Amino acid sequence: MPPSAACCAAESTISPKALTVQYYALLREQAGRREEALTTSAPTPRELYAELAARYPFTLTPEVLRVAINGEFSEWSTPLAAGDAVVFIPPVAGG
């Protein structure tokens, strides 16, 4: 890979990007909102959750949460892209 491409690929993962986060259940109550648009430098959902947990009084740790990106279950290590819709999923309790 030419140096310029490597530079830009790396840069795209750390440069600030605009995305949306939706909150449900306990996280919705603790964030005090259902949804927000934000700009973040977090490369993956893991860093994004840490960033949000510093802002809101979240009591749930990442170990008990799952994450969804654009309406589908995802991994904590999936790179975030501009325009992504991210949801952190608290322990479920249907039925």
* Per CB under 8 A, 71 contacts other proteins: yes
Stretch that binds other proteins, among 2-10, 13-21, 45-53, 57-65 (CB under 8 A): 57-65
Using CB atoms within 10 A of its CB, is residue 14 exposed (0-12), middle (13-18) or buried (19+)? exposed
Per CB under 8 A, the list member of 40, 44, 56, 68 interacting with other proteins is 68
Task: Give me the least distance between CB of 3 and other proteins, in Å please.
Answer: 40
C-beta of residue 46 within 8 angstroms of C-beta of residue 77: yes
- Select from 46, 47, 56, 60 the one that contacts other proteins (CB under 8 A): 60
Q: 22 — phi, psi (to 5°)?
A: -110, 145
Among 9, 14, 25, 50, binds other proteins (CB under 8 A): 25
- Of 94, 88, 92, nearest to 31 by C-alpha is 88
User: Which residue of 13, 24, 46, 56 would you call a contact of other proteins, by CB under 8 A?
Assistant: 24
CA distance 86 to 72: 9
Smallest separation (angstroms) from other proteins to the CB of 79: 20
